[in-house]
């Protein structure tokens, strides 16, 4: 505990900045969770495993000799189709099922994907490359190039998601389908496919998080379990029905996690996520930026 | 004149509860037909059955002489049937303009841009509020928005589910006046479900009276409106 108060300013700054960098990953995972939650009111527990599996595909492509960014974008395509396929083949049949059945389906998916990754790629821990230079960022003692890269990639993903939902007809249709499926059908929106697209996009965003995280935590079938928990905490802090809240929740959780690691010790870092989740659910269930809809009848 | 919409033996059920029992309805090209009846008579269900939405329907539905029964809601919309649903179906957290854009979602022609001005012409108040979140509109404005959203499809047939519901009499007058204009100017056929029989009979040229899922009376609106016994017994005014 005293280590915390005795922490020099530069060390504190380092912890905060690196927390923000990790927060980028949590923000992406949170955004993926929110995307599915908004449309279906379900939290996709398999989100992390989908990201992990996609990251293995990225490694496969890189090992085939493809340049990193080519492998990166091919992986995004794979992750999109993977997410879309899971919705169309499995999840859609449970849209009208009780919540517990859906939870069971998601946990089933988690175990299946986890097992498949273990069987296909084995359980040994593998290093995963970073596309960014390995030296410190402009000689800065506070951040590595990979950390700066993670933040940049997160910001690009957020901007792309924003532009897609705000300015494209398909994005508008997806928002409409999430909000009012019955009315959406009446204007001709194919609601089922909008849900599937949502899963595809969530898979894609998760894969970005997976590829960024794998360089830090190394690639193995369970690499996303802690990250999913942090991502869930981030989504809850931001308000699970608000994508921009999720984006802000990410860095908040990242910084909390790092400071807790420095103050209380790394063993208890993951507990911070749990404490955050319980705290938010108790004190402010709609999150910091949860939206209250104004309606009139 | 030929019928744009025709049903034969249209029945519908929610689960095992039968609501409609063999309706034969027709809407003439360019005509306005109203479906009257008490609460629970099956008016809303009729409109839902026509769109194959939320209800299990059987029987024959012809639109422009083509069978459409069994088609998916999304495809029926693409054929040119716009449904202004019960409760208005507002996308509450989207802006007024986004609501309208969704109305034209299935259209690929270049006339969409001008159609915003066309519907704002009917309902200038929506133009003032076009950037506003639709959920913050008043009830009357939301009803105007629902009609406008349907018009953005450039429909051939408009299904209207109680557009007068919960609105002040003056607003109802205004909306019905505009519905008449739309019918005259654009030749859009309309099937109007109403509880407010007097104003519906004024607008429509033909009327059906529904009781517990069956048509018990039909005829020219003027004939029905002038039949005092029918008015007293079924229409309550």
ipTM confidence: 0.93
pLDDT band at A5 (very low <50, low <70, confident <90, very high): low
pLDDT, chain A, mean: 90
CA gap B154, B27 in Å, rounded: 18
Over residues B213-230, the mean pLDDT reads 91
Helix (H) or strand (E) run with residue A176 in it: helix A169-179
**CA quadruple A70, A71, A72, A74: dihedral positive or negative?**
positive
pLDDT at residue A269, rounded to an integer: 79
- pLDDT reading at B1 higher than 70: no
Q: pLDDT: is A63 or A140 the higher one?
A: A63
| Residue where the block lists tokens 């290093």 | A127
On chain B, the residues whose CB falls within 8 A of the CB of A173 are 102, 105
Name the residue of chain A whose CA is nearest to B147's CA: A187
Q: How many residues does chain A have?
A: 297
pTM over 0.80: yes
In the predicted model, is pLDDT for residue B231 greater than 50?
yes
User: Which residues of chain A make contact with B102, given a CB cutoff of 8 A?
Assistant: 172-173, 176, 184, 187, 189
Between chains, do A183 and B78 touch, taking CB under 8 Å as contact? no
* Among B202, B178, B197, B196, CA closest to B188: B178
Give me the pLDDT at residue A3, please: 57
For range A104-113, the mean pLDDT: 96
Q: Give me the mean pLDDT over the B47-72 stretch.
A: 95
Across the interface, of B54, B94, B139, the residue whose CB is closest to A175 is B94
With both helix axes pointing from N to C terminus, report the angle between A191-217 and A47-63 in degrees, rounded to the nearest 10.
Answer: 60
Question: Would the pLDDT of A297 be above 60?
Answer: no
Terminal CA-CA length for chain A: 55
Question: Which pLDDT score, from 0 to 100, does residue B29 have?
Answer: 96
List, for residues B62-111, the tens digit of each pLDDT value. Answer: 999 999 999 999 999 999 999 999 999 999 999 999 999 999 999 999 99
Q: Answer whether residue A292 shows pLDDT above 60.
A: no
Using pLDDT thresholds of 50, 70 and 90, give the confidence band for residue B38.
confident
Contacts (Cβ under 8 Å, ≥6 apart) of A81: A200
Radius of gyration of chain B (CA): 17
Give A145 to chain B, closest Cα distance, Å. 40
Residues of A in contact with B106 (CB under 8 A): 187-188
Q: Number of Cβ pairs closer than 8 Å across A and B?
A: 79
CA-based nearest residue to B99, from B141, B51, B133, B56: B133
Distance from A96 to chain B by nearest Cα, in Å? 13
Cα gap A128→B93, rounded to integer Å: 42
Tokens standing for residue B128: 């003032």
**pLDDT over 80 at B200, yes or no:** yes
pLDDT for A130 equals 92
SS3 call for A38:
helix
pLDDT exceeds 90 at position A266:
no
Residue B168 has, within 13 A of its CA and on its CB side, a CA count of: 6
d(CA B98, CA B89): 14
Q: Residue B34: which of B227, B215, B233, B237 has the closest Cα?
A: B215
| pLDDT tens digit sequence for B130-176 | 999 999 999 999 999 999 999 999 999 999 999 999 999 999 999 99
Crossing angle (nearest 10°) for helices A47-63 and A9-40: 110
Across the interface, of A169, A179, A291, the residue whose CB is closest to B105 is A169
How many angstroms away from the CA of A248 is the closest CA of chain B? Answer: 21
List the single range of A37-41, A61-65, B26-30 with lowest mean pLDDT: A37-41
Tell me the sheet residues that pair with B12. B20, B57
Contacts of A174 (CB under 8 A, 6+ apart): A39, A165, A194, A197, A198
Give the pLDDT score at A1: 47
- A184 contacts B92? CB cut-off 8 A: no
Region A87-103 average pLDDT: 93
Between strands B189-194 and B206-211, the pairing is: unpaired
Query: Which positions 154-183 of B are in contact with A (Cβ < 8 Å)?
Result: 166
Token pair listed for B206: 């033909």
What is the token pair recorded at B76?
């029926």
- With CA atoms as reference, the chain A residue closest to B94 would be A176
Interface of A with B (CB under 8 A): 169, 172-173, 175-176, 179-180, 182-191, 291, 293-297
**From CA B50, how far away is CA B53, in angstroms rounded?**
8
Q: Which residue of B has its CA nearest to A185?
A: B74
Of A176, A291, A295, the CB nearest to B102: A176
Confidence grade of residue A92 (pLDDT, cut at 50, 70, 90): very high
Distance of alpha carbon A193 from alpha carbon A75, whole angstroms: 22
Nearest CB among B103, B106, B136 relative to A294 is that of B136
Closest by Cβ to A180, choosing from B73, B89, B133: B89
A176: chain B residues, CB-CB within 8 Å: 91, 94, 98, 102
- Give the CA dihedral A110, A211, A256, A149, nearest 10 degrees: -170
């Amino acid at each position: 505990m005293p280590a915390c108060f005795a922490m020099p300013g530069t060390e504190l700054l380092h912890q905060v900045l690196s927390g923000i960098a990790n927060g980028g990953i949590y923000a992406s995972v949170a955004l993926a969770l929110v995307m599915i939650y908004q449309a279906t009111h379900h939290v996709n527990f398999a989100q992390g495993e989908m990201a992990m599996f996609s990251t293995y595909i990225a490694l496969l492509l890189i090992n085939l000799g493809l340049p990193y960014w080519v492998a990166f974008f091919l992986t995004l395509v794979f992750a999109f189709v993977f997410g879309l396929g899971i919705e169309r083949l499995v999840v859609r049949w449970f849209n009208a099922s009780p919540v517990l059945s859906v939870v069971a389906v998601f946990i089933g998916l988690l175990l299946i994907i986890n097992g498949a990754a273990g069987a296909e790629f084995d359980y040994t821990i593998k290093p995963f490359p970073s596309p960014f230079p390995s030296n410190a960022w402009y000689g800065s003692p506070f951040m590595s190039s990979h950390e700066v890269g993670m933040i940049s990639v997160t910001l690009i993903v957020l901007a792309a998601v924003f532009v897609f939902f705000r300015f494209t007809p398909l994005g508008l249709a997806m928002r409409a389908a999430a909000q009012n499926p019955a009315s959406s059908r009446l204007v001709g929106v194919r609601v089922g496919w909008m849900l599937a697209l949502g899963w595809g996009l969530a898979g894609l965003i998760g894969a970005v998080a997976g590829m960024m995280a794998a360089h830090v935590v190394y690639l193995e079938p369970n690499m996303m379990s802690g990250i999913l928990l942090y991502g869930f905490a981030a989504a809850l802090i931001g308000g699970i029905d608000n994508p921009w809240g999720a984006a802000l929740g990410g860095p908040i959780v990242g910084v909390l996690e790092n400071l807790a690691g420095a103050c209380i010790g790394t063993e208890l870092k993951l507990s911070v996520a749990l404490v955050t989740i319980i705290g938010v659910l108790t004190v402010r269930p709609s999150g910091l930026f949860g939206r209250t809809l104004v309606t009139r009848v | 004149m030929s019928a744009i919409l025709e049903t034969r033996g249209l029945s519908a059920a929610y689960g095992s509860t039968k609501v409609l029992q063999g309706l034969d309805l027709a809407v003439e090209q360019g005509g306005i037909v109203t479906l009257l009846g008490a609460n629970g008579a099956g008016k809303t269900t009729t409109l839902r059955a026509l769109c194959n939405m939320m209800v299990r329907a059987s029987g024959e539905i012809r639109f422009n002489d083509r069978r459409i029964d069994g088609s998916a809601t999304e495809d029926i919309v693409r054929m040119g049937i716009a449904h202004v649903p019960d409760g208005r179906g507002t996308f509450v957290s989207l802006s007024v303009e986004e609501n309208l854009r969704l109305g034209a979602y299935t259209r690929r022609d270049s006339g969409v841009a001008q159609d915003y001005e066309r519907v704002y012409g009917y309902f200038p108040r929506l133009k003032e509020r076009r950037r506003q979140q639709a959920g913050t509109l008043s009830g009357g404005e939301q009803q105007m928005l629902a009609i406008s959203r349907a018009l953005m499809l450039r429909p051939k047939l408009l299904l209207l589910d109680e557009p007068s519901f919960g609105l002040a009499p003056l607003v109802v007058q205004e909306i019905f006046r505009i519905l008449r204009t739309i019918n005259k100017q654009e030749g859009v056929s309309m099937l109007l479900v109403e509880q407010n029989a007097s104003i519906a009979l004024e607008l429509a040229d033909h009327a059906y009276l529904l009781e517990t899922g069956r048509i018990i009376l039909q005829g020219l609106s003027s004939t029905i409106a002038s039949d005092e016994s029918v008015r007293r017994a079924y229409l309550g005014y």
